[in-house]
Amino acid sequence: MKKGNYILDEKLLGVSHNLFGSNNISEGQEFLLLITSLNDLELKALNYKGIRYFQKCFENEDLSLCHYDSIIHPEDYPLFLHFLNNCEDLEVGEERETTVRIKSPFGTWKKFIFKNRLYTGFKDSEEKYVLSLVKASDPYKHTFRKNTSSNLETEKSLQESLNRYRVLINSLDSGYSVIEVIFDLNKKALDYLLVEINPTFEKHVHLNHTLGKTMKELSQDHGEKWFQTYGDIVFTGEPVRFEKYAEDLETWFDIYAFPIGSSKSRRVAILCSDITDRKEAEENLRKANENLENQVRKRTKELKEKSDLLQMVFDTVTQGIFLLKPVFGENRDIIDFTYVRVNKKVKRYYGRVDLVGKSFLKFNPQATRTGAFEIFKQTMISGESKDFEVCFNRNGRDNWFKISTTRQKGMLVNSLENITQKKRRARNLKDTMRFKKQLINTSPDIILIFNLYQEKVRFMNRDFASNPQLTKEKIIGMPLLDIIPMLHPQDREKALEFHTKLLQASDKDVYEIEFRLKGAEGNWNYYNARAKVFMRNKKGNPYEYIILMRNIQQHKKTQQDLMEAEKLSIKGEIARTLAHELRNPLASIGMSADIVNKKLEESEKKDLGTYINIIKRSTSTLNGLVTDLLTTSNYSPPVLNKCCIATTLNKALTQAKDRIYLTGIKVEKYYKGHYYINADKEKLKIALLNIIVNASEAMTPNEGVLTLRIEQSDENHYKLYITDNGCGMEKDQIKRLFESFYTNKIGGMGVGLSSVKNIIQEHNASIEVESEPNVGTTFILTFPVYKPHRGK
């Protein structure tokens, strides 16, 4: 077979995007990269391959000792210097090459081709530099001496792998590049050369004609930190993921950089995405939050200033204080009180009359009518302190007083405060309070005030629209322990932490949380809540906090729809790639089976005919699946019609019968008759076949038992159980089982069970998994029973 049969298919790969214009992946193109000053003809910088090469040549870590006269063969050295001097006349973009002998690590002289061009990466430098790409003139001298069948097969396998690599890289939405990091003689990274890019790379970095150029030649203001990061990857071999702003490109990047190539010629592969729009959105959100926090802080400061002012007023007001001693009658009834002591404020109320020893009722004849005397009597008898207000008419004007009375050592200690002005202000504030109430009731947010002493909701401005059962009448007075169970189980611990933070919060702290609350139809609705301390006690501890809640379910749904659309796009692209890659091998398998069948003797056909037929049927089945895969990668909604689960399950078993036969699996069925549902027969068959194939792969050959059971769980639902006695799964594997691109199979893509879940959900059905390691796994599919539309 001719070697030319293994040339890579250019149509499949697309345009070549590597430095050498070949179809080999970059790590196969090893070379020395050298930067030389044309002023003193000294080596100034080199790549990692050069560092390793020359360190081994001279067994010396100090690269500054490596000069061209010690590297290049003495006979070639004058020619090489002449060649370097002539490079001063090179135009930008022009290249010149020569061949010289360089000392190898083994002490021998090896021919290398120097391909030189001017290097303009040193900023503000008056010197001229030349960049040399140095490759062995005969790199494959000892490779595949004989064109043996084994070597050709190996080369074919390699080329097919390279094919898949190129298709995958060129189909990425992210920018992909492979770089050769350039170091100075002290092994400090100072630049890098772009040796391979995919078609979207230049779109993400906003640069043109980048291939074969160094970053400093493209942008001399590129930050040194970028070079240092990639240089560390080369020496440590550890990948790095980070987000960073490139000032020279005015772009934010999401970078994943990882080592690629051999340990002797290590390069860095980079996946980059332009995330400037996302970062700008985050910055705008941060500024919006900062603005809101400033407003909250400003309002908090205003409230504190008002509170301080009110406290100062209270501290400077001198209340009237007077002590009363009871006067008892013949029946030991309290018939009056006498003043024992009064302060100046009280004397001022009574025209500076000396009240000590005088009758209380004599100076306060209205006390009986207003009930003040009766309250004094009850406090004296029971010892229970009282606060009350009374109104006295003096000089034709009503005067309001607030009185606090308490029993102490057989006397009443009373404080008196004239609150006439407060009463008048209260009437003026009534309209203001009405306005505030209207403001609260018309707010788009649900407002709650939670009392920490009672651990209950004290105030709520409106009902929950998402669940009419959660009225404010029901919520007000509800304890915290009754509220927590109303939240989604996964959000309860987070809500308790939110509550605990507010117990320790300062007046400036504003805490935020997202949680899910059950809706009217049993679904979970997302809410955003912001909270801060509302009131404090005299010791400064919070005893009430206020919460503003807003329903963000629609916002969450929009985010989820965008994520699902992106996943479907990626899965469709991978499905089309896999389908195209599978067609050629399947055709080869089918033709090989036909040829083997024709060459077999009749006696051999009796023994091998069954297996050849299995190969043919399997090839035909796989071709059909490839066609389905290409069709389903272009998503179309399912067409639901009346369908029997049992019939569709039997069809899926028929397609899997060869696999079941070859692995010696026993199938046990526990269903009879018809079980009608609304379904797309072909899509449902694909989902069931996928589960059956996964079950067969999980079981030990000739020991597996596949159990299929269908039963009606209730009036409106059928349940299908698919059980195997295979290896089973751990809990963390079950949680990720239906994620896109998650798989435990070697070489698997992780799209099978993700597609199964999508198909089942499109049928308004559900899928659950129960599994135990080394015991087995059961898939439980629940379908609504078919019910004909009215009029049919």
- Give mean pLDDT, residues 722-747: 76
| Structure confidence at residue 750 (pLDDT) | 43
Number of domains in the chain: 6
| Structure confidence at residue 353 (pLDDT) | 79
- Give mean pLDDT, residues 325-337: 91
| Structure confidence at residue 315 (pLDDT) | 37
- Give mean pLDDT, residues 202-219: 91
More confident residue, 249 or 55: 249
Per-residue pLDDT band for 2 (boundaries 50, 70, 90) equals very low
Q: Which of 76-80, 399-403, 432-436 has the lowest mean pLDDT?
A: 432-436
Share of the chain above pLDDT 70, in %: 82
What mean pLDDT value characterizes the chain? 82
- Give mean pLDDT, residues 696-724: 92
pLDDT digits (tens, 9 = 90+) for 762-778: 888 999 999 999 999 99
- Give mean pLDDT, residues 626-655: 79
Q: 680 and 724 share a domain? A: yes
- Give mean pLDDT, residues 356-385: 89
Is residue 22 in some structural domain? no
Is residue 521 in some structural domain? yes
Q: Which of 174-183, 421-430, 456-465 has the lowest mean pLDDT?
A: 421-430
Q: 651 and 624 share a domain? A: no
Share of the chain above pLDDT 90, in %: 34
Q: 707 and 749 share a domain? A: yes
Q: 564 and 662 share a domain? A: no
- 3-state DSSP call for residue 49? helix
Contacts of 60 (CB under 8 A, 6+ apart): 66
| Structure confidence at residue 310 (pLDDT) | 41
| Structure confidence at residue 624 (pLDDT) | 67
| Structure confidence at residue 311 (pLDDT) | 39
Predicted confidence (pLDDT) at residue 419 exceeds the cutoff of 60: yes
Helix ranges (H only) for 275-418 are 276-316, 344-349, 360-363, 367-370, 372-382
Is residue 789 in some structural domain? no
HSE at residue 394, side-chain half, CA atoms within 13 A, is 14
Distance CA 101, CA 594 (A): 56
More confident residue, 619 or 691: 691
Beta bridge partners of 193: 180, 214
Determine how many CB atoms are found less than 10 A away from the CB of residue 744: 12
Predicted confidence (pLDDT) at residue 316 exceeds the cutoff of 50: no
Count of helix runs (H) and strand runs (E) in the chain: 24, 27
Q: 107 and 185 share a domain? A: no
Is residue 609 in some structural domain? yes
| Structure confidence at residue 144 (pLDDT) | 46
Q: What is the CATH number of the domain that holds 370?
A: 3.30.450.20
**Beta-strand runs (E) in 227-290:** 240-246, 251-260, 267-274
Per-residue pLDDT band for 723 (boundaries 50, 70, 90) equals very high
Residue 712 tokens read as 């009606």
Predicted confidence (pLDDT) at residue 5 exceeds the cutoff of 50: no
Is residue 434 in some structural domain? no
Q: 515 and 599 share a domain? A: no
Last residue of a domain, one of 520, 551, 582: 551
Per-residue pLDDT band for 7 (boundaries 50, 70, 90) equals very low
Contacts of 42 (CB under 8 A, 6+ apart): 36, 67, 68
Q: 529 and 447 share a domain? A: yes
- Give mean pLDDT, residues 668-692: 92
Predicted confidence (pLDDT) at residue 454 exceeds the cutoff of 80: yes
Q: What is the CATH number of the domain that holds 759?
A: 3.30.565.10
Judge whether 46 and 180 are in contact, CB under 8 Å.
no
- Render 697-743 in DSSP notation, one character per residue: HHSPTTT-EEEEEEEEEETTEEEEEEEE-S----HHHHHTTTSTT--
| Structure confidence at residue 246 (pLDDT) | 92
Q: What are phi and psi of 233, to 5 degrees?
A: -65, -40
Distance CA 587, CA 609 (A): 19
What interhelical angle do 602-633 and 681-698 show, nearest 10? 120
Q: Report strand pairing: 666-670 vs 705-714.
A: parallel
| C-alpha dihedral sign at 662, 757, 622, 748 | negative
| C-alpha dihedral sign at 230, 234, 236, 241 | positive
Judge whether 723 and 778 are in contact, CB under 8 Å.
yes
Per-residue pLDDT band for 67 (boundaries 50, 70, 90) equals confident
Distance CA 359, CA 313 (A): 33
Predicted confidence (pLDDT) at residue 218 exceeds the cutoff of 50: yes
Q: 503 and 610 share a domain? A: no
- Give mean pLDDT, residues 301-314: 59
More confident residue, 96 or 520: 96
pLDDT digits (tens, 9 = 90+) for 537-556: 988 899 899 998 888 887 77
Beta bridge partners of 181: 192
Distance CA 340, CA 674 (A): 100
Is residue 689 in some structural domain? yes
Judge whether 97 and 108 are in contact, CB under 8 Å.
no
Determine how many CB atoms are found less than 10 A away from the CB of residue 747: 5
Q: Which of 67-71, 151-155, 647-651, 755-759 has the lowest mean pLDDT?
A: 151-155
Q: Report strand pairing: 397-408 vs 386-394.
A: antiparallel
Contacts of 263 (CB under 8 A, 6+ apart): 237
Predicted confidence (pLDDT) at residue 740 exceeds the cutoff of 70: no
- Give mean pLDDT, residues 700-721: 93
Last residue of a domain, one of 581, 615, 633: 633
Judge whether 128 and 41 are in contact, CB under 8 Å.
no
- Give mean pLDDT, residues 645-650: 94
Judge whether 274 and 202 are in contact, CB under 8 Å.
no
Q: 609 and 659 share a domain? A: no
Per-residue pLDDT band for 712 (boundaries 50, 70, 90) equals very high
Residue 714 tokens read as 């209730």
Is residue 295 in some structural domain? no
Q: 547 and 563 share a domain? A: no
Q: Which of 22-36, 92-106, 475-489, 631-645 has the lowest mean pLDDT?
A: 22-36
| Structure confidence at residue 675 (pLDDT) | 95
Burial environment of residue 526 by CB neighbours within 10 A (0 to 12, 13 to 18, 19 or more): buried
Q: 765 and 645 share a domain? A: yes
Is residue 10 in some structural domain? no
pLDDT digits (tens, 9 = 90+) for 231-266: 999 999 999 999 999 998 999 999 999 999 888 888
Q: 658 and 621 share a domain? A: no
Predicted confidence (pLDDT) at residue 397 exceeds the cutoff of 80: no
| Structure confidence at residue 9 (pLDDT) | 45
Q: Which of 205-209, 559-563, 605-609, 683-687 has the lowest mean pLDDT?
A: 559-563
pTM above 0.85, yes or no: no
Predicted confidence (pLDDT) at residue 660 exceeds the cutoff of 70: yes
- 3-state DSSP call for residue 176? strand
Q: Which domain holds residue 58?
A: 31-136
- Give mean pLDDT, residues 581-602: 72
Last residue of a domain, one of 423, 453, 486: 423
Residue 354 tokens read as 């000396």
Q: Which of 329-343, 518-532, 639-653 has the lowest mean pLDDT?
A: 518-532
Distance CA 78, CA 74 (A): 8
HSE at residue 197, side-chain half, CA atoms within 13 A, is 19
Distance CA 578, CA 629 (A): 9
| Structure confidence at residue 570 (pLDDT) | 60
Per-residue pLDDT band for 578 (boundaries 50, 70, 90) equals low
Judge whether 220 and 250 are in contact, CB under 8 Å.
no
Predicted confidence (pLDDT) at residue 35 exceeds the cutoff of 80: yes
Distance CA 450, CA 436 (A): 19
